[in-house]
Structure 1
């Protein structure tokens, strides 16, 4: 299907979904992802741009493409890391350029049970041309930030997620400075108004579409302290979907059900949950951030927004038609933006415009710098311990080899050789992680620290100008 870029669209429908497509781990993966393709194809209105996360295999990506190629003829599956980044972008219009930018800070190889480092998380970027003008170019940034394995501020990976938010913010700001439509979407693994969320909305012109329409929506799960401080009533499942934008841990998602309901579902029973049930754990982790391209009035020199937000909703809540399970452990987040009406009496042209300087409070930069320092101290200790372990295993290996000379029996010699080989192998791994990986991570931390410090200095100057 050819795309007509000579007639730019008057509206743009965007969809983002974490597919939960972990190979060998995610249950009913093939069946669910095929049905995800079916439901995207049946969506009304049909999406124009789709961002997918945790779509790990080409097989699943192609299955979704097969179902949607009649209206989303362009797509890109992004390759990254050892096992792939799990990111894909589908589009109604041609993808002129694409890039996969890996995050400098992205988990630790020692935490193999987490997997974040091995998948090479980053930002999948696509430059999409919807028409002939500058304001018809959309730059799409699809990502999946590092998962929080503990509650903030005790999350040991908060420094990584903060640095990742900082990186994608720079990319989106650059796109906005070119005068293009900016769409940032994905599973950001953060709650609204968290540090990462504030970084994105402050240091780039993009806005969280849900909070534009629902400024009083929740900032976490009802059981979280941050939400309890707001002293709001316990939400039900329907309210969390329609007003709070909860995409994860919903009581309506079958992958979050208790054991009794799951057993009934596994037996083929189409278990139904009332939308009025209390929903204390649901929260919003999936986002669409949006920034409009600008239109300049040639007569007055004024810049106005090329696009405006019309609506946003949580979608993909329908279950599999025969398995009765949810299609993913997340629901989708969707939004529609419309092109602003152009004054026929004016001579307007699309183009870049200067972005205003906006900064976080100074104490927030101090908080980030303190987090960096704390994590850096931890990693320096880790490096010493790992290099020390390498030295210990080396000495132990040499000792075992010496012991072979004096071994009275062959089986004793075999055991000593086995211990020597295993110990030296483990020591080499520890040495590589301590000497190479941690060293690389510390250098990435220095770069991040410099950027934050430099921004803090500019914020101080800006604050002084504002008060003078």
Structure 2
């Protein structure tokens, strides 16, 4: 047998064939190379935004951009441990981007990359701006769909912006590569960010609810026989409740862990920054990133993922990318990118989807899922107290504002005859009270009620799943 020879050098689909002395051809399964990247594209906030995103576009289009960090050259290796050539290192088949929030940035990316990626899509739905999600693909896109999370922060946290951008799941369905492979469903997302480790600002309940909805949507596409790939900045550490929902509930596996096995994140947090990136793929808050160099070593974490269906996909290679630095600017983004090469497993002849997978899962996994349901219910109940307080206090503020405005009108009547200038003061005061009271009243009566009812809905769904899981566990006794 001779060495494998590439069949598709230009289209990026890594299909190879083996030839024997008798020129008998044996096909190897096609491979697809993914990249997911949080580009940090906030207008007026992200430093050197335009220059960085243009450099990202240039690099994706095939140009050599950035100065490599010598210690990280080992990241640019293939599945055989050999150093990749410069052209293949950044030659991707599918690129999922997050935080593309400025139209001029997307226009440049689209224009610069259209020859390499003829199929593109950016998603627009949102209040002030879109969710910042975009896809670049060499494989034809059959259809797209956007699912907006019903639980996604609060409008009062305008300085954070998650509620206003409309955090979502961008679903992109791709044409099957061959008649023997499954069609791919890419589910790209940027979930609600944590602004603290604990407490209300951690938004743990919001991300957990988003992951719960995410798992339901992923299961629908799995049962429809798609090779599901969840990619993006999920803002959730490995082993967290959202991560459990996205893996245990869906049957998907973390591509990095599929390749390297289970990892101890505590042990990784004690390593130096280079080893953290090599061994733990810490794409966020790494000291090697110039925008996060002031962080402590134990703050480095892996938040960027590709979660895959192991019955239809197999991870061949994975690692961090865009670790180079731009002259006079720094890192490409406040995150490093994550890439993985996936082998598409062949369709099974005469296969029938088992819609009752719970009955065939190991009891240990079922117990872990049951424990996740219990944890989720505790999480919802804890946050429900905060949500009800927010609704109550803002409602009280609205009522007090109405009483205050009435009082201002009465006081103005008595003081205007004695000091005419005082009328201006009371009018301005009443205006401020009116505006702030009205805003809080609308948040309380409209958003507060909506959020609480959405939390009730998730709670009922989890309780339904918990009751069913209890029944399955009882049957296994």
**TM class by shorter-chain length?**
0.7 to 0.9
Task: Give the corresponding residue for 1:44.
Answer: 88
- Tell me by how many angstroms 1:75 deviates: 0.8
| Distance (whole Å) between structure 1 residues aligned to residue 279 and residue 294 of structure 2 | 25
Q: How does 1:220-259 map to 2 (within 5 A)?
A: 227=266, 234-258=270-294
Q: Which of 14, 22, 45 is 1:25 aligned to?
A: 45
TM-score, normalised by the number of residues in structure 1: 0.84
SS of the residue corresponding to residue 460 of structure 2 reads helix
| Distance (whole Å) between structure 1 residues aligned to residue 314 and residue 39 of structure 2 | 28
**Cα offsets for 1:94-129 (capped at 9, x unmatched):** 222111111010000111111111111011111111
- Tell me by how many angstroms 1:140 deviates: 0.7
Q: Verify: 1:205 aligned to 2:205, yes or no.
A: no
Instruction: Sort the Cα spacing of 1:97 and 1:91 in 2 relative to 1 into closer, same or farther, 3 A.
Output: same
- Tell me by how many angstroms 1:336 deviates: 0.5
| Distance (whole Å) between structure 1 residues aligned to residue 258 and residue 189 of structure 2 | 21
> Conserved in 2, the CA contact under 8 Å of 1:249 and 1:256?
yes
- Tell me by how many angstroms 1:3 deviates: 8.2
| Distance (whole Å) between structure 2 residues aligned to residue 233 and residue 128 of structure 1 | 37
| Distance (whole Å) between structure 1 residues aligned to residue 243 and residue 157 of structure 2 | 25
| Distance (whole Å) between structure 2 residues aligned to residue 370 and residue 340 of structure 1 | 39
- Tell me by how many angstroms 1:180 deviates: 1.0
Task: Give the corresponding residue for 1:425.
Answer: 435
Task: Give the corresponding residue for 1:391.
Answer: 399
Task: Give the corresponding residue for 1:450.
Answer: 460
- Tell me by how many angstroms 1:206 deviates: 1.3
| Distance (whole Å) between structure 1 residues aligned to residue 395 and residue 200 of structure 2 | 27
TM-score, normalised by the number of residues in structure 2: 0.83
Q: Which of 385, 388, 408 is 1:377 aligned to?
A: 385
> Conserved in 2, the CA contact under 8 Å of 1:16 and 1:50?
yes
- Tell me by how many angstroms 1:350 deviates: 7.2
Task: Give the corresponding residue for 2:235.
Answer: 189
> Conserved in 2, the CA contact under 8 Å of 1:9 and 1:130?
no
Task: Give the corresponding residue for 1:356.
Answer: 357
- Tell me by how many angstroms 1:311 deviates: 1.1
Instruction: Sort the Cα spacing of 1:134 and 1:160 in 2 relative to 1 into closer, same or farther, 3 A.
Output: farther
Q: Which of 449, 452, 455 is 1:439 aligned to?
A: 449
Q: How does 1:46-445 map to 2 (within 5 A)?
A: 46-82=91-127, 83-131=129-177, 133=179, 135-152=181-198, 156-219=202-265, 227=266, 234-258=270-294, 279-291=297-309, 305-320=311-326, 322-340=327-345, 348=349, 352-354=353-355, 356-357=357-358, 359=366, 360-406=368-414, 407=416, 408-445=418-455
- Tell me by how many angstroms 1:362 deviates: 3.0
* Structure 2 segments unaligned to the other structure (5+ residues): 1-9, 16-27, 63-86
| Distance (whole Å) between structure 2 residues aligned to residue 350 and residue 49 of structure 1 | 28
SS of the residue corresponding to residue 246 of structure 1 reads coil
Q: In angstroms, what is the RMSD of aligned CA positions?
A: 2.5
Instruction: Sort the Cα spacing of 1:178 and 1:24 in 2 relative to 1 into closer, same or farther, 3 A.
Output: same
SS of the residue corresponding to residue 12 of structure 1 reads strand
